[in-house]
Chains A and B, each alone.
Chain A
């Protein structure tokens, strides 16, 4: 069955960087696009970024001002999110989700806390 497992979260100081990973199994990874979506405390779901199946097309939320970079390694069945210049407001649970349009499967999520 489809499994998506995020890792790499934790507590980080403002201004620092962190890289999240999402390891996939149970399906043909390179057939699907993927998203990162986050859920900050007390707020709704916020889309972060998307990458196409071959990695050629990438889009990220304008509000992130280029600080977050999505990438993938199809040889490792893994999706990444490089997060730079982290701010307090980036504190959230980060989810990876499968499917360019429908986000039909989600990982369990990984908590990122930005705090001094």
Chain B
């Protein structure tokens, strides 16, 4: 199984400041079809998870442009350029290059 490792596991950020979450996979997520199957989801309190970014760097429609994803191969990053109060939640990276799908441990983002 592919192991997804996120750091840090928690983050406390002042509103307006940036935040960054790292995600490393134990195997490359680059498929032979040319796509990289790395996704970012966020789960806010009392809500189901929701997809933020797909295939490393593509924001889902409606996701604020302060969220950006980058990386390749086995190393990936989610960045929030200016954190807002509504960004509080647990952020998960996820791989779907092969079953079983695996998630990172989650990174809890809090506001200072």
Contact = CB atoms under 8 A, between A and B. Distances in A.
Is chain B a partner of chain A in the same complex?
yes
Interface of A: 35, 37, 39, 44-47, 50, 59, 61-62, 95, 97, 100-109
A104 B55 CA distance: 12
Interface of B: 1, 37, 39, 41, 43, 48-51, 54-55, 60, 90, 92, 94, 96, 99-106
The 9 A-B residue pairs whose C-beta atoms are closest, nearest first, are A59-B99, A106-B48, A47-B101, A101-B96, A45-B103, A44-B106, A102-B54, A104-B51, A44-B105
A45 B54 contact: no
Q: Is the interface of B mostly helix, strand, loop or mixed?
A: loop
Nearest to A46: B103
A95 B100 contact: no
Contacts of B101: 35, 47, 50, 103
Contacts of B92: 44-45
Nearest to B31: A101
A46 B102 CA distance: 7
